[in-house]
Amino acid sequence: MKRTLLATLLPLALAAPALSSQQFTATDLGVLPGHDESRAWGMNDAGQIVGWSRAGSSLRAVLFDPSTGLSEVGVLAGATNSSARGINNWGEVVGSSWGAPITQPGRPFLRLTNGVLVDLGSLPGGNTGEAFDVNDAGVVVGMAQGTGFSPEPFRATVAGSLTALTQGQAGNAYAVNIATTIAGDANGRAVLWEGSGATIQLAQDPNFPRSRAQAVNGVGVAAGIQEDASGTTARLVIWTGGGIEDLGIIGRYSQVTSISDAGWIVGYDQFSFQVRPRAFLHTPSGGRQFVDSLLLSNPEGWAITSVFAVNARGQMAANAVNAQGDRRALRLDPVGGTGPSAVTRFCSGSENSTGAVASLTAMNIDIVANSMTLASSNLPTQSFGLSLVSLERGYTVAPGGSFGDLCLGGAIGRAVGGALLNSGANGTWSELVDLQSIPQANGTVQVLAGETWFFQAWYRDQSGNLAGSNFTDGLRVIF
């Protein structure tokens, strides 16, 4: 049998609400003690936001956590300043760290889930760079100085060296999705770098020869900006299916910062440096709207100047200023709840006796009604099995001689739906799960909104004449 050890990390149903009338509430994320300004840069599907907090000439990378509040991310050894730019769904954070003065170029870092900051290094001939984004596989992208004057786009992992995505060409790598498709630009042209290493030059309008892809979602749709040759006219565009779609004229100094799987695009619109930028949200059904006009109430008088991230649940990481000159990072939450649960395939399965990989699916998730459905397909016929659940991911190769690998760790609950399952003549099964009664080592617990749980299914299988067991792929569900 062929065993697949590397998670494919393909997106499932991550759609956020797509209503043109969607309104939001704003939460001030605060500042570190003694600081007077904060900024949001990145956000994950659990609503964790990263950025910085500032006091005069001191800048510190911070994490805004919905459960634990505001905390420092840290600085690299020998450095005094830092800024966090991206965070993945495991809580790994990327950014840059540097010394004094505050404008000094930094070095890219990755903070692991154990709190350790890893210096990602630099390109040959250079010593500085900045990490912009990290996906759930731990692939980091950004820009770094090489032997030339201009920065170059790079990718890196904690286990490997930082490598250039171009051969000495100037550019940036702004974003990376869960399939390791990287959005950026090289020599003034929007490109995607695939996980395989292939470079795709995106479609170009001859009247708008300068472009940059600044965001890419889990289904491979990229968003960015195209400019005319003079740089005086710009437009918002998306690239999908090999083509390009014009979403309208936008300010020449505008930026696209994020695109969700539902096609929500965020950024800021700016026609002149003498005019304050305004954050925008573009949805497939509602077009482009200024975000401060979508606030349910705004007693603080916030002018939303930028949005740098939108997650699978419709939450946004924003920056704002009020009449008193207070500059703060904000979290914007959709009125009516944070949208549907975010579901991601975080671990691939192994080929079974049918020649296929058994797949687990989570459907009809309703945290209010405390129910969801788990279904498995591509199973051997008449196979017995049960679903598994844990609050932790893990990785155990062929436990107990299994033909597959276990992707859960910590305390593992068994028979999530309460019963042993059988795949029948069609090689499938499904079960209704009571989210108030999730099995754990010391009894059952209730799933709460905002929690992250991991699911997999175990089933009977055989290899030739040898009877044994196997596992489906694994799902991460953020409720």
Last-in-domain residue among 309, 334, 359: 334
Residue 314 reports pLDDT greater than 80: yes
If asked whether residues 293 and 442 sit together in one domain, one would say no
Is the residue at 11 inside a domain? no
Residue 13 reports pLDDT greater than 60: no
3-state secondary structure of 401: helix
User: What length does the chain have?
Assistant: 479
CB 459 within 8 A of CB 385: yes
- Cα separation of the two ends of the chain: 35
Is the residue at 125 inside a domain? yes
Strands (E), 169-294: 171-176, 182-186, 189-193, 199-201, 210-216, 222-227, 234-240, 243-250, 255-259, 265-269, 278-283, 287-290
Is the residue at 245 inside a domain? yes
If asked whether residues 325 and 420 sit together in one domain, one would say no
Read off the tokens for 266. Answer: 């965020």
Last-in-domain residue among 308, 334, 360: 334
Is the residue at 5 inside a domain? no
CB 209 within 8 A of CB 219: no
Residues 6+ apart with CB under 8 A from 237: 211, 223, 224, 225, 226, 244, 245, 246, 247
Place of tokens 């083509």: 243
If asked whether residues 122 and 223 sit together in one domain, one would say yes
Is the residue at 419 inside a domain? yes
If asked whether residues 319 and 227 sit together in one domain, one would say yes
Last-in-domain residue among 299, 334, 369: 334
Residue 443: CB atoms within 10 A of its CB come to 9
Per residue in 410-443, pLDDT (tens digit) is: 999 999 999 999 999 999 999 999 999 999 988 9
| Average pLDDT, rounded, for the chain | 90
If asked whether residues 325 and 347 sit together in one domain, one would say no
Residue 368 reports pLDDT greater than 50: yes
The CATH number covering residue 47 comes to 2.130.10.150
Strands (E), 74-197: 81-87, 93-98, 107-111, 117-119, 129-134, 140-145, 151-156, 163-164, 171-176, 182-186, 189-193
* Antiparallel, parallel or unpaired: β 151-156 and 37-43: unpaired
Mean pLDDT value across residues 146-156: 87
Is the residue at 463 inside a domain? yes
Read off the tokens for 228. Answer: 């005319």
Per residue in 70-114, pLDDT (tens digit) is: 999 999 999 999 999 999 988 999 999 999 877 777 999 999 989
190 burial via Cβ count (<10 Å: 0-12, 13-18, 19+): buried
If asked whether residues 425 and 371 sit together in one domain, one would say yes
What is the distance of C-alpha 311 from the center of its chain?
7
Q: pTM for this structure?
A: 0.76
The continuous run of DSSP H or E covering 328 comes out as strand 327-334
User: Which amino acid is residue 452, in one-letter code?
Assistant: T
If asked whether residues 306 and 445 sit together in one domain, one would say no
If asked whether residues 421 and 274 sit together in one domain, one would say no
If asked whether residues 203 and 74 sit together in one domain, one would say yes
Per residue in 222-237, pLDDT (tens digit) is: 999 999 999 889 999 9
Read off the tokens for 34. Answer: 């003694």
Is the residue at 18 inside a domain? no
Per residue in 318-363, pLDDT (tens digit) is: 999 999 999 999 999 998 765 656 787 778 889 999 999 998 988 8
Residue 478: pLDDT band by 50, 70, 90 thresholds? confident
Give the structural domain span for 443.
342-478
If asked whether residues 171 and 282 sit together in one domain, one would say yes
CB 457 within 8 A of CB 427: no
CB 8 within 8 A of CB 348: yes
Per residue in 241-294, pLDDT (tens digit) is: 889 999 999 998 999 999 998 899 999 999 888 789 999 999 988 899 999 999
The continuous run of DSSP H or E covering 41 comes out as strand 37-43
Is the residue at 19 inside a domain? no
Residue 192 reports pLDDT greater than 80: yes
The continuous run of DSSP H or E covering 433 comes out as strand 429-434
Nearest alpha carbon to residue 27 among 223, 299, 421, 427: 299
Percent of residues, the chain, with pLDDT higher than 70: 95
Residue 8 reports pLDDT greater than 50: no
What pLDDT, on the 0 to 100 scale, is given for residue 17?
A: 39
What is the spatial distance between Cα 319 and Cα 239, in angstroms, rounded to a whole number? 27
Per residue in 203-229, pLDDT (tens digit) is: 999 999 999 999 999 888 999 999 999
If asked whether residues 370 and 227 sit together in one domain, one would say no
What pLDDT, on the 0 to 100 scale, is given for residue 425?
A: 93
- Which range has the worst mean pLDDT, 49-53, 137-141, 419-423? 137-141
The CATH number covering residue 454 comes to 2.60.40
If asked whether residues 355 and 404 sit together in one domain, one would say yes
Domains in the chain, number: 2
